[in-house]
Chain A
Amino acid sequence: EPEVTQTPSHQVTQMGQEVILRCVPISNHLYFYWYRQILGQKVEFLVSFYNNEISEKSEIFDDQFSVERPDGSNFTLKIRSTKLEDSAMYFCASVKDTEAFFGQGTRLTVV
């Protein structure tokens, strides 16, 4: 069964450093999303991506964040200068019809 794959599973980075979280969505899906879950809190929408551009973004998704799909398969989330409060589990999802398929997540720890 096709699945969404995220790498790395866990990343530790120093505050102020750039990180890139990677996702390989399901190949015939067209809509892609990033969500995050701060420990003990709800899953929050960050950004949606369709037809090689951002279709919607939340207030959380400020200028420190960017997404791209550089090669038609990988879907990346970049955080330019990480802050302590960026520590969270980041989930990628690809969507077909009304069903979202989530990756296993990347746990980002900013120290």
Chain B
Amino acid sequence: GDSVTQMEGPVTLSEEAFLTINCTYTATGYPSLFWYVQYPGEGLQLLLKATKADDKGSNKGFEATYRKETTSFHLEKGSVQVSDSAVYFCALSDLLTGGGNKLTFGTGTQLKVEL
């Protein structure tokens, strides 16, 4: 079945540092890929998405590129801020294998940004 693997957290960075959170996936169809963010005490918010190979999703300075050859969708940001501290979830939705819009999530990676 479909699965998503994320790097273990927590990741602790200093403000203005470069961020990479690795995400790889397995899927039998042609998935859409997503990054969701969960701020403390809040629900899941869509951060960015990519629906086909080589697409780049971007939002709020975060970027991720859909790499079919490496089945990856790594999240990056050039300069993190304290306000980026949250849990980040990589997810996929595999429409063509009958999964509908059901999301399969990774375990989440907690990011802590310090001054």
Contacts and interface: CB of A to CB of B under 8 A. Distances in A.
| Chains A and B come from one and the same complex | yes
Interface of A: 6, 31, 33, 35, 41-45, 48, 50, 55-56, 91, 93, 95, 98-105
A31 B100 contact: yes
18 contacts: A31-B100, A31-B101, A41-B107, A42-B107, A42-B108, A43-B44, A43-B91, A44-B105, A48-B100, A56-B99, A91-B43, A91-B44, A93-B103, A98-B32, A98-B93, A102-B43, A102-B45, A104-B43
Contacts of B49: 98-99
Contacts of B32: 98
A33 B101 CA distance: 9
Given A41-B107, A98-B93, A104 B102 contact: no
Interface string B38-78: 00001111100101000000000000000000000000000
Contacts of A55: 100
A56 B108 contact: no
B100 A98 contact: no
A103 B43 CA distance: 6
Contacts of A93: 103
Nearest to B99: A56
B24 interface: no
B97 to A, nearest CB: 12
Contacts of B44: 43, 91, 102
A56 B98 CA distance: 10
